Amino acid sequence: MNIFDAISRKMAWLGQRQSVLAQNIANADTPDYAPKDLKSSEFARKLQARQAAMAMAATHRNHLDSRAGPGALARSDEQSRTYEVAPSGNAVVLEEQMIKVGETQMNYRMLSNLYRRHMNMMRAALGRGS
C-alpha cells in the first residue's frame, strides 16, 4: 500500500467518525440514546506493527526503552462504558464528544497537510515545481 492510499483511507475513516460524532451530538437530548464511535482504523494497527518491527535494541542496561514514550506509564483514556447517564437514559456527554470532534479535526488537518507535502515532493521530483 502506498502513502497516498494509506492517507486517503485514514481521511475517509476520519470523515466517517466525524459523522458518527455529529450524530451523537445531535441526539444529546434523545432518551435512552447511547453514544457511538468507530473502532480504531486499520491504519493505526498497521503503524503499530511497523513500529514494533523497528524497535531499537538496548546495548547497555542504563539505556532507556525505546517503546516507553512520554505517556508510557499513563493509563488509557478509553472507557468500556459511559460514566454519566442522564435521568432520561441518555449517555451522551457533550464535552467528551467535542473533545473527540476536535481530535478528529486535528488528525484530518494533519493528514491533508501530509498529502499536500507529498504531492509537492512528487511535483518537484518530476521537475514541475510546487
**In this predicted model, what pLDDT tens digit does every residue of 75-129 receive, in sequence order?**
334 444 556 677 777 889 999 999 999 999 999 999 999 999 999 999 999 987 6
How far is the C-alpha of 50 from the C-alpha of 55, rounded, in Å?
A: 9
How far is the C-alpha of 31 from the C-alpha of 27, rounded, in Å?
A: 8
The reply to whether 13 falls in a domain is yes
**In this predicted model, what pLDDT tens digit does every residue of 11-49 receive, in sequence order?**
999 999 999 999 999 999 999 998 999 887 666 667 677
Q: How many domains does the structure of the chain reveal?
A: 1
CB 7 within 8 A of CB 111: yes
Residue 50 has pLDDT above 90, yes or no: no
The reply to whether 102 falls in a domain is yes
Q: What single DSSP character describes residue 91? A: -
Largest CA distance in the chain: 64
The reply to whether 32 falls in a domain is no
| CA dihedral (38, 42, 48, 52) positive or negative | positive
